[in-house]
Amino acid sequence: MGEQKSMTIKGNMATAMGAKLCRPNVVPAYPITPSTLFPEKMSEFIADGELDASMINVESEHSAMSACIGASATGARVVTASASQGVALMHEMLFIASGMRLPIVMAVGNRALSAPINIWCDHQDTIASRDSGCLQFYAENNQEGLDLMINAFRIGEDERVLLPVIVGIDAFVLTHTIEGVKVPAQEDVDDFLPPYKPKHGTLDHRDPATFGSFAPPEYYQEFKFEQTKAMEDSRDVIDEIFADYANRFGRDYKKVSTYACEDADVILLTMGSMTGTAREAVKKMREEGKKVGLAKLTVYRPFPMPELKDILSSAKGVAVIERNISPGSTGAVYAELAGTFVNEKKRPLLKNFITGLGGRDTLVDTFEEIYDKTIEVIENGEVKVLVEWIAMNEEVMR
Amino acid sequence: MTVKITIGAINKEHGSSKKYKTGGWRSVCPVVDLEKCISCYKCYDYCPDAAIKKIEDGIEYDLDYCKGCGICAAECPVKAIVMVKEEK
Amino acid sequence: MTQNEDIELFASGHRACAGCGEGTAVRQILKVAGPNTIATICTGCLEVVSTGYPETAWEIPLIHAAFENSASVASGVEVALKELGRKEGVNVLAFGGDGGTFDIGLQALSGMLERGHDITYICLDNEAYMNTGIQRCSSTPYGASTTTSPSGKYSIGESKQKKPIAAICAAHGIPYTATANIAYINDLKKKVKKAIETEGPSFLHVFAPCPTGWRHGSDDTIEIGRLAVQTGVFVLWEAVDGDICNLKVTVMPKKRKPVEEYLKRQKRFAHLTEEDIAKIQQEVDEKCDRYGLPKRE
């Protein structure tokens, strides 16, 4: 094993470095805040001869994903990056990339959706794409951003999977924040990730195939079943490949990772960068004798139901803390977690907290308040209000 | 016809549309008088369905696929092709 | 391009309507392009009639992704071929209908042309959204009755002029732009050959009558196409390096027929009055003067 180089870099640079180590052939991309550094860095790597690939500086995110699809179907390893409105604009093409079973990898700088326009951290952009059939990973820090990119290629390209993978890093909190990152050696990544050689079909005149067929009712449902099965099958593949990565590079990823959950009455469930602050809050509360733990959702698609059941079922109450909201319903994770537990006899009370939208800070205080409100629920033995918005700026409320 | 589905609906059975015989759509049928035919192959060129084959000194129809559009008869410079009502 | 032109790369059994101009166009274009070709298509008639699973009419590799992005999917294909060392001797064709080219796909097409990909983009123009049931688009000509621009007491039918798509594409300064017509197959094939042999992006605007949408006899498809040229309604030209000031008219009608001969064979124009036709004639005359076509008979 080569030495892992320590670097101090921004999150966008971390995902770009991760992508570069995977030797993509084609990088179709369109700049959007806060992801712009990704296509800039990929362009630089190519310009400096550090990466043998081609950029396609497309005229929109819709064309970015379209060009990804064309290139991936031709047999290339493909990576792109986007955020927010860009993810929304390419929404249609994410479904098509997945339906055609093309293992495209996309780094997303998770950002709020308009209106009003807002460039800061929020998970609504990728959550809105949750049904597209792309795997979705969320990074807590820049190291995770880099590592998850490398894992994303290996998992997406696995013959049992063959699906696109989205790696989310939080806008600004990660994309523009400098952190220490260990960067694996190229030869070790080469050893971990074999070249992409699709067997299911490639656009090649020597073996002509039609991609993007029109499927009538007697076939469509079966195609969707197969695509969904690939997502189901990815569960074991993710575990296997995360474990292989841990063996080789010493960083152990789990679909859901835990902190101080064993005897916890209250477990906070988080995604992305807020997890770091939540961990500090849990440490502080533990010192105060509160029985609180933390679970972090790294893999959101496939939704890790068995793991969440194992981890959360012994708690009395779970606070699902989300940077997204489905107006007229709950946060996305809450509804899915409720579905996970609905047939279980032993289940915690679940309460949903919406916070951190559009870059609202999530502070230690925020998590303490969430803990208190969850204890209240446990004491009352019922959840009167399913969804509660936390850290509201009361001064500006009408 | 039922087939096992492929990954991502990627279809390697190129040209398999030939399994479907569009000749059944036809209500009028082309008939060529090879005595008149000058082998200019305009009918062959214009046919939207590749239902005309070139043969020595003329053409022949592949009635499995001819939809009976009548372009060949309309475009024949020597009026060697007529459309006749399909007997069914 | 030395393959046997008798090989059919767009196979029989496709579900296009009887007398479909697109069927003739795609067959002939692929005969020129040959088997070493990868094509992209957009959603629309061509996709529906040729890719119904588990069958495909395509003998060459084909990808259909969505409606508005044949050009950007093709961009990905072309760059990937180059990166993987497989571009040499392989042609990339991007097909779009008029809706997918003039309207919803114009941005992607402009991007593809501007970026200089070695792709031949072919618009198969039947002058409305035919697959969804003959709705007007920006290719629909003035006076045509469609389901969303119906003629009526207060409506002439389509009230806007057809968008000059080939000139718009040429204005990108691309190496080769041409208009073509299925009635003029030799001219069409020459232009396809030039477009493919030209390094960089080229654009072909191919006029392909639609018996279903234009409401003419299925046997009249070629004659309608021919009349469009003979009346000057559709001018066949080519331009190099986007220089449309010096475009070359490739099929010059000896005498120009009155537009009425073109219009009267199609029921989409059946409602037009003599005055309406006179107005259309005047506009065609003015256009033909600009192209240097002969005066009307």
Q: Is residue B44 part of a domain?
A: yes
The reply to whether A221 touches chain C by the CB within 8 Å rule is no
- Window 23-42 of A, Cβ < 8 Å to C: 25-26, 28
Instruction: Tell me the per-residue pLDDT of A331-361, one tens digit each, with 9 for 90 and over.
Output: 999 999 999 999 999 999 999 999 999 999 9
Considering only CB atoms, B14 lies closest to which of C22, C56, C218, namely: C56
What's chain A's average pLDDT?
A: 98
Grade residue C3 by pLDDT with cuts at 50, 70 and 90. low
Q: What is the pLDDT of residue B88?
A: 63
Q: Which residues does chain A have within 8 Å of residue B9's beta carbon, measured at their own beta carbons?
A: 99-100, 211-213, 215, 219, 223
Q: What is the pLDDT of residue B1?
A: 64
CA distance C107 to C296: 37
Q: C203 Cβ partners below 8 Å, 6+ apart?
A: C109, C113, C120, C121, C123, C166, C169, C170, C174, C176, C177, C178, C195
CA distance A172 to A99: 32
Residue C271: is its pLDDT beyond 80?
yes
Q: Is residue B2 part of a domain?
A: no
- For residue C148, the distance in angstroms to the closest alpha carbon of chain A comes to 26
Considering only CB atoms, C80 lies closest to which of A59, A71, A211, namely: A71
Q: What is the pLDDT of residue A124?
A: 98
Residue C282: is its pLDDT beyond 90?
yes
Determine, for residues B46 and C185 on separate chains, whether the beta-carbon distance falls below 8 Å.
yes
CA distance A56 to B35: 59
Q: Which residues does chain B have within 8 Å of residue A99's beta carbon, measured at their own beta carbons?
A: 8-9
Instruction: Tell me the per-residue pLDDT of B22-79, one tens digit each, with 9 for 90 and over.
Output: 999 999 999 999 999 999 999 999 999 999 999 999 999 999 999 999 999 999 999 9
Residue A294: is its pLDDT beyond 50?
yes
Q: What distance lies between CA A76 and its chain's CA centroid?
A: 23
Q: Is residue C2 part of a domain?
A: no
The reply to whether A214 touches chain C by the CB within 8 Å rule is yes
- For residue A56, the distance in angstroms to the closest alpha carbon of chain B comes to 25
Grade residue A324 by pLDDT with cuts at 50, 70 and 90. very high
Q: Which residues does chain A have within 8 Å of residue C67's beta carbon, measured at their own beta carbons?
A: none
Grade residue A209 by pLDDT with cuts at 50, 70 and 90. very high
The reply to whether B57 touches chain C by the CB within 8 Å rule is no
Grade residue B87 by pLDDT with cuts at 50, 70 and 90. confident
Determine, for residues A201 and B9 on separate chains, whether the beta-carbon distance falls below 8 Å.
no
CATH code where residue B41 lies? 3.30.70.20
Determine, for residues B51 and C12 on separate chains, whether the beta-carbon distance falls below 8 Å.
yes
Q: A112 Cβ partners below 8 Å, 6+ apart?
A: A84, A118, A119, A120, A121, A122, A124, A125, A171, A357, A358, A359
Q: Is residue B5 part of a domain?
A: no
Q: Is residue B61 part of a domain?
A: yes
Instruction: Tell me the per-residue pLDDT of A239-257, one tens digit each, with 9 for 90 and over.
Output: 999 999 999 999 999 999 9
CA distance C208 to C221: 8
Determine, for residues B48 and C58 on separate chains, whether the beta-carbon distance falls below 8 Å.
no
- For residue A49, the distance in angstroms to the closest alpha carbon of chain C comes to 14
Q: Is residue C220 part of a domain?
A: yes
- Window 98-157 of C, Cβ < 8 Å to A: 107-108, 110-111, 114-115
Taking CA–CA distances from B8, the nearest residue in chain A reads A100
CA distance C123 to C120: 10
Length of chain B: 88
Please tell me the total count of domains within chain C: 1
What's chain C's average pLDDT?
A: 97
What mean pLDDT comes out for the span A94-102? 98
Q: Which residues does chain B have within 8 Å of residue C185's beta carbon, measured at their own beta carbons?
A: 45-46
The reply to whether A57 touches chain C by the CB within 8 Å rule is yes
Tokens of A373: 């409100």
Tokens of C138: 């920006």
Grade residue C52 by pLDDT with cuts at 50, 70 and 90. very high
Determine, for residues C51 and A25 on separate chains, whether the beta-carbon distance falls below 8 Å.
no
CA distance A321 to A363: 13
Considering only CB atoms, A223 lies closest to which of B2, B9, B12, namely: B9
Q: What is the pLDDT of residue A367?
A: 98
Judged on CB neighbours under 10 Å (0-12, 13-18, 19+), C7 is exposed
Q: Is the peptide bond before A115 cis (omega within 30 degrees of 0)?
A: yes
Instruction: Tell me the per-residue pLDDT of C242-253, one tens digit each, with 9 for 90 and over.
Output: 999 999 999 999
Grade residue B3 by pLDDT with cuts at 50, 70 and 90. confident
Taking CA–CA distances from C49, the nearest residue in chain A reads A214
Q: Which residues does chain A have within 8 Å of residue B1's beta carbon, measured at their own beta carbons?
A: none
Tokens of C214: 């234009």
- For residue B12, the distance in angstroms to the closest alpha carbon of chain A comes to 4
Q: Max Cα separation, chain B?
A: 52
Coil, helix or strand at residue A251? coil
Q: What is the pLDDT of residue C237?
A: 98
Q: Is residue C6 part of a domain?
A: no
What mean pLDDT comes out for the span C73-101? 98
Instruction: Tell me the per-residue pLDDT of C10-21, one tens digit each, with 9 for 90 and over.
Output: 999 999 999 999
Q: What distance lies between CA C63 and its chain's CA centroid?
A: 19
Grade residue C2 by pLDDT with cuts at 50, 70 and 90. very low
CATH code where residue C105 lies? 3.40.50.970
CA distance C126 to C26: 13
A370, A268 in Cβ contact below 8 A?
Answer: yes
Q: Is the peptide bond before A103 cis (omega within 30 degrees of 0)?
A: no
Grade residue C297 by pLDDT with cuts at 50, 70 and 90. confident
In a mutational test of the A interface, the residue from C83, C86, C109 whose CB has the highest number of chain A CBs within 10 Å is C83
Instruction: Tell me the per-residue pLDDT of A65-91, one tens digit each, with 9 for 90 and over.
Output: 999 999 999 999 999 999 999 999 999
Tokens of C272: 């037009």
Compute CA distances A104 → A158, A242, C41, whole Å: 12, 19, 21
Angle (nearest 5°) at CA A66 between A61 and A72: 125
B49: domain range?
Answer: 27-85
Considering only CB atoms, B8 lies closest to which of A101, A208, A222, namely: A101
Q: Is residue B20 part of a domain?
A: no
What mean pLDDT comes out for the span C210-237? 98
Tokens of C134: 């003959």
Burial code of A276-311, b = ≥16 C-beta within 10 A, e = fewer? bbbbebbeebeeeebbbbbbbbbbbbbbbeebbeeb
Taking CA–CA distances from B7, the nearest residue in chain A reads A200
Q: Which residues does chain A have within 8 Å of residue C90's beta carbon, measured at their own beta carbons?
A: 205
Q: Is residue B33 part of a domain?
A: yes
Residue C1: is its pLDDT beyond 70?
no
CA distance A40 to A31: 8
Q: Is residue C16 part of a domain?
A: no
Domains within chain A, CATH numbers bracketed: 5-249 (3.40.50.970), 257-396 (3.40.50.920)
Instruction: Tell me the per-residue pLDDT of C162-190, one tens digit each, with 9 for 90 and over.
Output: 999 999 999 999 999 999 999 999 999 99
CA distance C63 to A99: 13
What mean pLDDT comes out for the span C56-79? 98
Considering only CB atoms, C83 lies closest to which of A25, A68, A214, namely: A25
Percent of chain C with pLDDT over 90: 97
Considering only CB atoms, C76 lies closest to which of A67, A204, A210, namely: A67
Considering only CB atoms, B12 lies closest to which of A162, A201, A222, namely: A201
C242: domain range?
Answer: 21-291
Q: What is the pLDDT of residue A108?
A: 98
Please tell me the total count of domains within chain B: 1
φ, ψ dihedrals at C207, nearest 5°? -80, 120
Coil, helix or strand at residue A277? helix
What mean pLDDT comes out for the span A131-145? 98
Q: Which amino acid is at C210?
A: C
Q: Which residues does chain A have within 8 Å of residue B14's beta carbon, measured at their own beta carbons?
A: 208-210
Q: Is residue C234 part of a domain?
A: yes
Q: Is residue B42 part of a domain?
A: yes
In a mutational test of the C interface, the residue from A203, A218, A222 whose CB has the highest number of chain C CBs within 10 Å is A203
